[in-house]
Chain A
Amino acid sequence: MSEVVLENLTKKFGSFVAIDNISLRIEPHEFFVLLGPSGSGKSTLLRLIAGLEQPTSGLIYIDGKVVNSLPPKERDIAMVFQNYALYPHFTVYDNIALPLKVRGQSKSQIDAKVRDVASMLHIEDLLQKKPGQLSGGQQQRVALARALVRDPKLFLLDEPLSNLDAKLRVEARAFLKELQERLGVTTIYVTHDQSEAMSMATRIAVLNKGKVMQIADPFSIYRRPANMFTAGFIGSPSMNFIEGALKKDGEWSFVAGGLRVELPGLSFSSERRAIMGFRPEHIRIADEGIEATVSLVEPMGSIIYLHLNLGGFEVIAQHAGERKIKEGDKVKVRLDPESLLFYDAESGDLVS
């Protein structure tokens, strides 16, 4: 069970910087998720660790050993690709057996391992079929089986669920997480889907434009995003942002246009231009508070999203639906000072 360390890793494609001086450490047994929008460099980072790409500079350690010059097969890793990348002319059995055959294991050894991993993934009945005869979910399991059969040091997954339909994806998510916990193999998982990241990860690294924006556990990433990018990227609907200024007038307050939010009990190092962020669930309809006009009502089933005009700013509030609210209604809302986040207007970093 292995750890991975990246040290000042940079990858350029021509003049395009895909990975910009990333250093991080992935602990043994960890389910580590690389999360970011397309073009953030998350897949490139995974391919660098796999050895499918060579870094422009920096070092990659697996278990304390620099692996930069090792080809993929000598890094003792397994990888599942977004499109599964099964060998279409081999049976499922031969697909799974290939990595063992290449390593010269005996026929009986191979047979035992293939059947073992097939039963673990519930694909025993498919062993004699060709990939073209399988459904997407079955192909995905075969790809997992091929990766797991070798007992790799490191398990790399590149958006393995994005080609499954929504229902299957939720099932596969739980299955993958349970499987990883049982096997305890260090896993690096690439996705652009925050719900996958939140539900499976031990820790998440949020990437943007080749840089690490934040590394933390899912709870902290959601509750205290370290910068505007992470704050806006994580959560659906997105966090609400209002640009204004932090002012001290005895007590601290946040002022933006006609909007003034008192911040009792909070203190900051200095007055500054700042962006206030709060999630839709942290703005509550109340009897007392700031006046707002409802511009749109979006029922989602269990909850309702209210689009509010709050002192000239458009924000979204999550409403449990205990009170009937129509478009055009005037309501009063409260912001819980504890849940408010402030970002520096210039750097975009969290102001604490």
Chain B
Amino acid sequence: MNRFNLLLLVVLLIATAIALFPIYWMVITSLKVSSEIFSYPPVFIPLKITLNNYYAQGTYYGALSQTAVGSIPWVINSFIASIGASAIGTILIGAPAAYGLVRYIRNIWLSRLILFMMMIPESAFMLPYFLMISKAGWINTWWGLIAVYLSLTAPMSTWLLMGFFNDLPKSVEEAAQIDGLSTFNIFARISMPMAAPGIAVAFMINFMNIWNEMLYALVLTYSPFPSGAQTAPLFLTGFIVIEKSFAWGGLAAAGTFVLIPSLIVGLVAEKYLVKGWTLGAVKG
């Protein structure tokens, strides 16, 4: 190993530590007794481990009611909104839009416009979206959330997938054209599967964005499943202040609990990331 590789390794270790430390801190805090949570200097390796925090109650609109395990109704809403908005935004809107822009329209300003749209802060749209969704009668519903979240997922996927479709070998599509496939079938049966790694990346980024989204959910929803569509980030806020003090242990436990589904989605998507389909399409 030469000096440069060693340097790279050190940088990589530091980057990994920075990325993982908050998660580590959250998980151990969820397992600490309260004296260790508040002790100074901080405790990096807890001496006593407890699951009590997972049974601590958070407030829900002033009433002490929910434990970390009780987050399931909110997690269900998050899951449906995230999967729905990511799947529709990536597969039904982003991929065809990106393919069209790359292969047929080729207008640089149209693609720039998509990028500009992503730069506008979410809070600018908060009020218009609230008005639109309430006019549609979709407040506190999955449809309302998914419709608004598409405004985040569709441009993100389109922007990301343009690069992937652009990198696909054009000759494979031409071979399909000569073999007799229709334009739609070339897209659906040839180009989409070849862009699978890109679609997995776009899906995962969108899923994580929506899973953690709070602003729109705060404005558009007010009650958990089954009566409403309130999502997990709002559930977590219920732990911040309980009886005029911060419930750090409960919050950490709930946060850990809410992290699990997004980890599972990440692992499933990773399978497609590692094994790119384009392998072996063309030579040279």
Contact = CB atoms under 8 A, between A and B. Distances in A.
Interface stretch (B40-48, B49-57, B273-281): B273-281
Contact of B283 (A51, A73, A87, A136): A136
B180 to A, nearest CB: 4
Contacts of B190: 87
Interface residues of B, number: 24
B206 to A, nearest CB: 23
Interface residues of A, number: 32
Most A C-beta atoms less than 10 A away, residue of B175, B180, B185, B282:
B175
B174 interface: yes
Interface string B247-282: 000000000000000000000000000000111111
Contacts, number: 86
Contact of B277 (A50, A71, A83, A88): A88
Given A132-B279, A136-B283, A73 B172 contact: no
B179 A84 contact: no
Interface string B180-202: 11000100001001101000000
B180 A86 contact: no
Interface string B192-232: 01101000000000000000000000000000000000000
Given A81-B174, A85-B171, A89-B193, A132 B179 contact: no
A86 B280 CA distance: 8
B178 A87 contact: no
Contact of B179 (A51, A102, A130, A163): A102
A35 interface: no
Contacts of B181: 73, 98, 102
Contacts of A82: 171, 284
Contacts of A132: 279-280
Nearest to B168: A88
B163 interface: no
A77 interface: yes
B171 A83 contact: yes
Nearest to B183: A71
Nearest to B171: A85
B174 A88 contact: no
Contacts of B284: 82-83, 162-163
B185 to A, nearest CB: 8
B65 interface: no
B280 A85 contact: no
Contact of B180 (A79, A81, A102, A136): A102
17 contacts: A51-B178, A52-B174, A52-B178, A72-B177, A78-B178, A79-B178, A82-B171, A83-B284, A85-B171, A85-B175, A88-B194, A89-B193, A89-B196, A98-B181, A103-B180, A132-B280, A134-B280
Given A87-B172, A136-B283, 15 more contacts: A52-B178, A73-B178, A81-B282, A83-B169, A83-B283, A84-B282, A85-B175, A86-B175, A86-B280, A86-B282, A87-B281, A88-B281, A89-B196, A131-B280, A139-B283
